[in-house]
Amino acid sequence: MKRPSQARSGFWQTPQKRQSLFLFVLLFLFGVIVTNHVTLVNKNREQNNLAALYKTRQEELDAALAQYESLTAENDRLLELKEAAIAQVLSQEGQPGLMDELKRMQALAGLTDVTGPGLSVTLNDKPGFDVIRDSADAIVHDSDVRHVLELLKSSGAAALSVNDQRITNASYVFCIGPTILCNMQRLTPPYVIRAVGQDPETMAMSIQNDPMLSLRQTPEIGLVVLVETSPEVTCPAFAGADDLSPYIDKLEVPAA
């Protein structure tokens, strides 16, 4: 009678058994290698697809920016031609002085760029804002932007803009979700408010000494308010200067 150890030894000594075991191990290793290869190929393919998609989107963005710059330059050229045509007509009718008056009224209405001494006020959310841990006061609201605009107006600002959107009597500032809508444009933080005025220091003091803004900048809340004066600040022209009809459709024309 054979012992168990002898039976096992006899099993491994059988050539067919050894070949079967060897083939099983070989096929198992082959399967592992193929699986890893397929996984690696799919990962590389996904990375290549993402890289190609990023490249395509970047090219589209570059094309859109180039088109924007081209259209902006063309719009500026057409505006110059428009002003020249108006000046020519007024001169032919013997009213050349009306062109200067028109330019003055356009400047007062915010329809032209204004450059002069002033400052910029940057409002931004608390760095690393956490919607669960942090207060809602730690993010910028439309009321904050309006509050800063009012402070600057009352301290001598002659022209104002928010993220390069000129503020006029027809402008509005209010929240739409996480963004702020101004002059039909969605704005996102940081909100850079620029003001042109003869006394930038007085305007800066009105922001720095405001109790509400001081409270919002405490470490517990963490709102970011940066003030920087400059000898030259530019507030761009009102973006809707070419078509004011959406802003004045509430006006009534008296009956004849």
pLDDT tens-digit readout, 105-131: 777 777 888 899 999 999 999 999 888
Residue 27 scores a pLDDT above 90: no
Q: Amino acid letter at 19?
A: Q
* pLDDT at res. 26: 76
* pLDDT at res. 255: 55
* Spacing of C-alpha 67 from chain mean position: 19
Which superfamily does 114-235 belong to?
Answer: Protein of unknown function DUF881 (3.30.70.1880)
- With 0-12 / 13-18 / 19 or more C-beta atoms within 10 angstroms meaning exposed / middle / buried, residue 234 is middle
Mean pLDDT (whole number) for 96-100: 77
DSSP 8: H
CA of 138: how far to CAs of 133, 147, 192, 227, 248, in Å? 10, 16, 17, 18, 36
More confident residue, 184 or 240: 184
Residue 185 scores a pLDDT above 90: no
Q: Amino acid letter at 117?
A: P
Element (H, E) at 243: none
**b (16+ CB within 10 A) / e for 211-229:** eebeebeeeeebbbbebee
For the chain, the domains span 1-109, 114-235
* pLDDT at res. 120: 96
For 40-134, strand residue ranges (E) read 114-124
Residue 248 scores a pLDDT above 90: no
* pLDDT at res. 39: 82
More confident residue, 100 or 11: 100
Cβ contacts of 170 within 8 Å, gap of 6 or more:
238, 240, 244, 247, 248
Within 10 A of 206 (CB to CB), how many other CB atoms are there? Answer: 21
Cβ contacts of 114 within 8 Å, gap of 6 or more:
107, 158, 159, 196, 234, 235
d(CA 216, CA 224): 8
Q: Which residue's entry shows tokens 């207060």?
A: 135
Measured between its terminal Cα atoms, the distance across the chain in Å is 129
d(CA 187, CA 178): 9
* pLDDT at res. 143: 94
Widest pairwise Cα distance in the chain: 134
